[in-house]
A and B are shown apart, each in its own frame.
Chain A
Amino acid sequence: MKAVNRISMRIFVQFFLLSALILGTFTSCEKVVAAKEDPEMMKVYGKSEAELTAPPFVPRPVGNRAATKLVVNMEVVEKEMTMADGVTYNYWTFDGTVPGSFIRTRVGDEIEFHLKNHPDNKLPHNIDLHAVTGPGGGAEASFVAPGRESVFTFKALNPGLYVYHCATAPVGMHIANGMYGLIMVEPEGGLPPVDKEYYIMQGDFYTEGDFGEPGLQAFDMNKAVEEDADYVLFNGHVGALTGENAIHAEVGETVRLFVGNGGPNLTSSFHVIGEIFDRVLVEGGDLVNEGLGTTTIGPGAAAIVEFKVDSPGELVLVDHAIFRAFNKGALGILEVEGPDNTKVFGGKIEEKPYQPVDTKTPIDGDKVENEGEVKITSLSEKMERGKTIFSQTCFACHGATGGGIPGAFPPLADSDYLNADVNRAIKAVKRGLSGEITVNGNVYNSMMPPQNLSDEDVANVLTYVYNNWGNKKTEVTEEMVKEALQ
């Protein structure tokens, strides 16, 4: 009896354990499941200081890390910096750069934001992060006078790329002076890895002087209200992404650009000349569009663009509202190095002259000389040319078929006057004719003005006339004209 009990006990225990194991694996606690779906419930592990970077670089990707308590330390600094060659400007900045530091977090992170206002600053400032769900995006909570620090907390609930900016009155002025930047909230697991990532932010600037006017330029409020920008720049100053500041990639690498637009007013039509965006996270959200040439980024908005560079060269980043790129500074360079890829882009393979042949050279009544034209030699060609001249010059008086106007202008059709003397005809055309003449039995007393035609054209038109409407078929040559005129 005992032995049987023992065995059955064992079986019972094993069965119990096995079922417990199976149940345990498959029925997770409700709350854990809920946390996976609802960012508000996500638990945070540990505490660390956020790595912040100056543009154009970004902090390391979050990868697989769990949500954590993240401390962000940011300082507002008002300082004069170079805007363009010979031009300086009093910028108001987050962490001394325009745009301000890039903040990289993950959905579910609880962020403790420390905003410090340097004691040398004149003005109070604050911050509104579009990633914050809460009043003013943190503006009220972070409002801080110079020489003080304010701390507030928020939880990142939505993944995406968001703009942050100062929201102290007058808001437009604070933004126009450079107080903006980007905060990336990566989804769980992070963004798919790429080879290179860069941070670019467009902004429009309004100065008292025109573009390029040297010296310290003051902010012009009226121009800002009129949205009449003097400078439209990537990363705060001319040349931020060109020359030795250009960004780099190798052929075959995948590149991801975090592109924001601080405004304050203008919308960017962001394009990389020579590349197509393989993937665009439209407006920095979940929606993915593929194969775009240009993407629109409004003020206060951002987008993530990804592309693979296939052939070497200089790719030019522009705002395709093109006068901004070439006349206001919205231009950057991505240098791609590596072996040529002639299949994708073969480059120029040939160059040769292009001269289309044109028989119908137009005659201008005021033109004196036909310069450098191919000489017409054959009769048919002369007839063609002569017809053209006749229809422009002669027909008005002598009629389209040479009928003339009775009592005013003599006919040219079957004209005894013409047929009797070629040389006389030539002189009439070239030098004009006045006084009484009799043609075909009728008297005409009018004035024919000299025709402004070259000798060659006189020959052509007379050849035409003589070979039409019953006249003696005479071919008049240029030599004959020259001889007659001597």
Chain B
Amino acid sequence: MKKLLTILGILGMFTSCNMYDDAPVIIEPMDTAAVDLSVELPELSIYNLPATWTTQNGEDIELQELRGKVLVMVMIYTSCKAACPRLVADMRNIEKQVPAEDLDKVQFIMVSIDPATDTPERLKEFSKENLMEEDHWMFLRGTEEATREFATVLAVSYKKISPIDFSHSNIISVFDENGVLVHQREGLGVDNAETVAAIHEEVSN
């Protein structure tokens, strides 16, 4: 028996080659406590921005009211033909990968960079066209100034290039329950696995 073990041990030596690791990217868990709304907002929270926004249902809300949910945000405009349809598809793709039981803790938000055209009515229409009528989908518009300020926090750049068209960066951002930015992904049709992982991380802690 001993001999057999020694043999196996020696053989073991010869089979230890370099196995190339193909493990997926692990996202380090964040050290955020559970949300206590009486606690002061962290300094980096977007809820520090004072502006008021209007939803597709015509309600006026302050961003702060969303505190407690994990936010997945993107900035688009409804008359966009090029990237926005793809951004919307990306958002949908991400939403599909979030487990059903987590969905009520997540808010998918599309903020318009063209508040003049994207009235609440228009946003409502858009949500219908894109089958995004469930509660976890939200469309927001604000004043020109508030929009510009909001964009700077997301590091989204945009410029009006014609009466109906904008040039803008394509970024999807994830915020934790306290409104602190935890993840961003730039580009279209990119691999959304990291974004989904980030959402999962925030929901489950």
Contacts and interface: CB of A to CB of B under 8 A. Distances in A.
Interface string B1-21: 001000100110111011110
A225 B13 CA distance: 65
Contacts of A361: none
A28 B17 contact: yes
B11 A31 contact: no
A46 interface: no
A17 interface: yes
B14 A23 contact: yes
A17 B7 contact: yes
A163 B19 CA distance: 35
Contacts of A21: 14
A16 B18 contact: no
B17 A13 contact: no
B20 A31 contact: yes
A102 B13 CA distance: 42
Chain A interface, >50% SS class: helix
Interface in A284-318: none
B14 A35 contact: no
Interface in B36-90: none
A31 B3 contact: no
Contacts of B13: 24
Contacts of A16: 7
A16 B14 CA distance: 13
A32 B10 CA distance: 20
B20 A24 contact: no
B14 A31 contact: no
A420 interface: no
Contacts, number: 26
Nearest to B14: A24
A31 B15 CA distance: 12
B18 A29 contact: yes
A329 B17 CA distance: 57
A20 B14 contact: yes
A221 interface: no
B3 A13 contact: yes
A378 to B, nearest CB: 100
B7 to A, nearest CB: 7
Contact of A20 (B3, B11, B19, B20): B11
A13 B14 contact: no
A68 to B, nearest CB: 16
Contact of A32 (B3, B7, B17): B17
B75 to A, nearest CB: 21
B17 A29 contact: yes
A12 B24 CA distance: 44
Given A17-B10, A20-B11, A41 B3 contact: no
Contacts of A114: none
Contacts of A23: 14
A24 B12 CA distance: 10
A125 to B, nearest CB: 19
Nearest to B17: A29
Contacts of B15: 24
A16 B4 CA distance: 11
A31 B7 contact: no
A41 B19 CA distance: 11
B128 to A, nearest CB: 38
A41 B11 CA distance: 26
A34 to B, nearest CB: 8
Interface in A379-430: none
A43 interface: yes
Interface string A11-48: 00100110011011000110110010000010100000
A21 B15 CA distance: 11
Contacts of A31: 17-20
A31 B22 CA distance: 13
Nearest to B20: A31
Contacts of B20: 31, 41
A20 B14 CA distance: 8
Contacts of B17: 28-29, 31-32
B18 A43 contact: yes
A217 to B, nearest CB: 37
B18 A20 contact: no
Most buried by B among A24, A35, A41: A24
A17 B8 CA distance: 10
Contacts of B7: 13, 16-17
A305 B17 CA distance: 40
Contact of B18 (A13, A17, A35): A35
A106 B28 CA distance: 30
Interface string A222-256: 00000000000000000000000000000000000
Interface of B: 3, 7, 10-11, 13-15, 17-20
7 contacts: A20-B11, A24-B13, A24-B15, A29-B18, A31-B18, A31-B20, A41-B20
The 6 closest A-B pairs by CB, nearest first: A29-B17, A24-B14, A31-B20, A32-B18, A20-B11, A31-B18
